[in-house]
Amino acid sequence: MTPRPAPRDWDAATYDRVSDPQFEWGLEVLERLPPRGDETVLDAGCGSGRVTRALLERLPHGRVIAVDAAPAMVAVAREALGDRAEVIEADLVELELAEPVDAVFSSAVFHWVLDHDRLFERVHAALRPGGRLVAQCGGEGNVERFLEAASEAAAEPPFVRTSSAGRGRGTSRHPRRRPPASSGGASRTCGVGSSPDAPGRPIPART
């Protein structure tokens, strides 16, 4: 069996300081998860814990399990959240919980995970019967306009590089990375999907 690559670590303190866009996205996703207030919710990819704090405010009598693969993020989240949440360092594709949760929340995380089949298998296993998944992530094609603009800019001075033969050659400072394919098929295969009559509203993962 080929070993999985080690998860990347982050400069968590800097991320926490400059992550306003991710925080705003997370709040929008939370609006799709109106809890009663007493549930147990998994924050899948909690980062530095900024959105996790907002999740905790919606669960005055509930519990949050926050998971991230980056050691630095986990350290910052633990300091920020204290004993209000259980913060676990774990890769989502290897996630094992002691007991299932009522809901899984995730924002701006799943596009970092290359194995979506395994990801949604573990998400499905983490949910109790009838549990909810509310998630948002990047998808194939959603940054095409940005990549096209970056490529055009890279072909113009002062970014253009000249080869030894004297021919201009535009090169991007950020190599293009193949985006993940649509995760819809993987999620449905593993038993997680969206209701056809209420787009964006998760349906029970199990019956």
Q: Quick check: is 202 in a domain?
A: no
Q: What would the pLDDT profile of 2-14 be if each residue is shown by its tens digit?
A: 455 555 666 777 7
Instruction: Among 70-84, 163-177, 189-203, name the most confident range.
Output: 70-84
Say yes or no: 32 and 89 in one domain.
yes
Q: CB–CB of 71/46 below 8 Å?
A: no
Tokens of residue 183, six digits? 């995760």
Q: What is the pLDDT of residue 165?
A: 43
The count of structural domains within the chain is: 2
Q: What is the pLDDT of residue 67?
A: 97
Q: What would the pLDDT profile of 140-190 be if each residue is shown by its tens digit?
A: 676 778 788 888 888 888 887 644 444 443 343 444 343 444 555 555 545
Say yes or no: 68 and 47 in one domain.
yes
Cα–Cα distance for residue pair 42/202, rounded to 1 Å: 15
| Chain centre distance of CA 202 | 17
Q: What residue numbers bound the domain in which 155 lies?
A: 143-178
